[in-house]
Amino acid sequence: MDKLTGAQLVIRTLEYMEVSTVFGLPGGAILPAYDPIYDSPIRHILARHEQGAGHMAEGYAQSTGELGVVIATSGPGATNLVTPLMNALMDSTPLLAITGQVASTAIGNDAFQEAFTTGITMPATKHNYLVANVSEIPQILIEAKHIATTGRPGPVLVDIPKDILNDESEWVEPKIVEMPGYKPTTSPNPKSITQGVDLIKKAKKPILYVGGGIINSKSNKELYELAISTNIPVVTTLMGRGSFPDGHELSLGMPGMHGNYTATTSLQKSDLLIAIGVRFDDRVTANPEYFAQNAKVIHA
């Protein structure tokens, strides 16, 4: 079997993952990956700044439902991705960032355009990797996609030293292996559902408080059926807009600092908040101590 360079393995694996579009900006440490892109059916969209490339990949993921992929070089290229990575983490957007890194032997020596990329991006990602061997590239990328797109979606970064991009290895079809430290919740708890139904039956002023998780999980239909069958009003966050028809009589709109009075007041005066695919953002709750003080909460 012919051997491929690490750079070729990156692009080959992206093709295997059915990635059709990547966003990026070339630079010294990631440059080896650009030759195989030229010969690949993957469409590369050139940005003028890595931060812009990251936000473009975010928007692509949100509008298509597919994994967003961004490529950047080492040092300043990688650090310029911090804002879109953090944004993707907050908005639960599936994003894969592939960054170049200085040669393995130069790491930790204050090399030109070196940065501690995995350390810097640790709080801004679901997970990140520093590739230590060229043969690991396909397996790491397939795991990165799995982590980015399952459970609560989010960004994953893969940092690849330049010498590893130039090293060679055979292509081995990657497979998802069991990751003991990563067990996202994928099924409901029957006992919790029964308790939730009882709370809904007893509530006088229930509110469905929904966010982007509804859209990410493609649960718009189920939300609509729940609202109609129970006649419970719906409040949607910014990321949840579109999950329920704005023109419907049960739609109260968006709450919080940038929302409307009706939606905000309905949350405050509710006796039961059914929160689905949403986080209790400070722009909605303000001081949590005084938010919906009389409400019980079902959070899914």
- Exposed/middle/buried for 135, CB within 10 Å: 0-12, 13-18, 19+? middle
Residues 82, 163, single domain; the answer is yes
CA distance 113 to 210: 43
Domain that holds residue 223: 190-299
Tell me whether residue 176 is in a domain: no
Q: Residue 101: which CATH number?
A: 3.40.50.970
Could you tell me if 111 and 153 lie in one domain? yes
Residues 223 and 91 in one domain: no
- Give the whole-angstrom CA distance, residue 72 versus residue 78: 6
Rounded mean pLDDT for each run of 10 residues along the chain, 300 residues in total: 93 98 97 95 98 99 97 98 98 98 93 95 98 97 96 97 97 85 83 94 97 94 98 97 96 96 97 96 93 94
Alpha carbon distance 78, 96 (integer Å) = 13
Say if 259 falls within a structural domain: yes
Judge whether 14 lies within some domain.
yes
Other beta carbons within 10 Å of 178: 6
With beta carbons less than 8 A apart as the criterion, state whether 291 and 285 touch: yes
Q: What is the pLDDT of residue 185?
A: 78
Same domain, 40 and 136: yes
Tokens of 134: 């060229």
**Rounded CA separation 91/152 (Å):** 10
Tell whether 29 and 90 lie within a shared domain. yes
116 domain residue, yes or no: yes
| Residue 180 located in a structural domain | no
Domain identity same for 280 and 249: yes
157 and 55 inside one domain: yes
- pLDDT of 1 reads 65
The answer to whether residue 209 is domain-embedded is yes
Same domain, 108 and 239: no
Rounded CA separation 284/254 (Å): 9
Question: What three-state secondary structure class fits 53?
Answer: helix
Q: Has this prediction a pTM greater than 0.75?
A: yes
Cα→Cα distances 122→59, 119, 130, 190, Å: 22, 5, 12, 35
Structural domain count, the chain: 2
160 in a structural domain? yes
* Domain assignment present for 184: no
Residues 6+ apart with CB under 8 A from 282: none
Domain boundary among 106, 135, 170: 170
**Alpha-helical runs (H) found in the chain:** 6-16, 34-38, 50-64, 76-79, 82-91, 117-121, 137-149, 162-166, 190-202, 212-216, 220-230, 261-269, 282-285
Rounded Cα–Cα distance for residues 111 and 186 (Å): 43
Q: What pLDDT is stored for residue 183 in this prediction?
A: 84
Domain shared by 219 and 90, yes or no: no
Q: Are residues 166 and 63 in the same domain?
A: yes
Same domain for 12 and 101: yes
- Examine the domain organization and report whether 59 and 127 are in the same domain: yes
pLDDT at 180: 83
Final residue of a domain: which of 142, 170, 198? Answer: 170
**Distance (Å, rounded) from C-alpha 211 to C-alpha 91?**
10
From 137, 183, 95, 199, select the one nearest 5 (Cα to Cα). Answer: 137
